[in-house]
Amino acid sequence: MADSDGDIFPFGDAGFFGAPTHTTKPVVGMAKTTDGMGYWLVTDTGHVYHYGDAGALCSAKTKAVIVGIATTPDAAGYWLAAANGKTSPFGDA
């Protein structure tokens, strides 16, 4: 679990792979890799942080407010969802 400041709170067998040291924008979404050995965090401006085996793909360059992130089944890509209903694909999404 992540809070809006980007602090990570692992529970059960979830691992901690890192967290942003400084972000001025709220974190609005988190998605894990399929093997559970990494995750992505996304801010409302579309900046994506990657940790563990989550690949560095890209961040959104959009004026729309980002509200979430979802990974592809093989975790080689993700979609960023915007408040206006549009999605932006990255990697193999």
Distance CA 12, CA 47 (A): 28
Which structural domain range is residue 24 located in?
1-93
Predicted local distance difference test score (pLDDT) of residue 27: 92
| Total domains, the chain | 1
pLDDT in tens, the chain (93 residues): 888 888 888 888 888 898 887 777 899 999 999 999 999 999 999 999 999 999 888 777 778 899 999 999 999 999 999 999 999 999 999
Q: DSSP string covering 39-93, please?
A: EEEEETT--EEEEET---------SSPEEEEEE-TTSSEEEEEETTS-EEEEET-
Q: pTM of the prediction?
A: 0.85
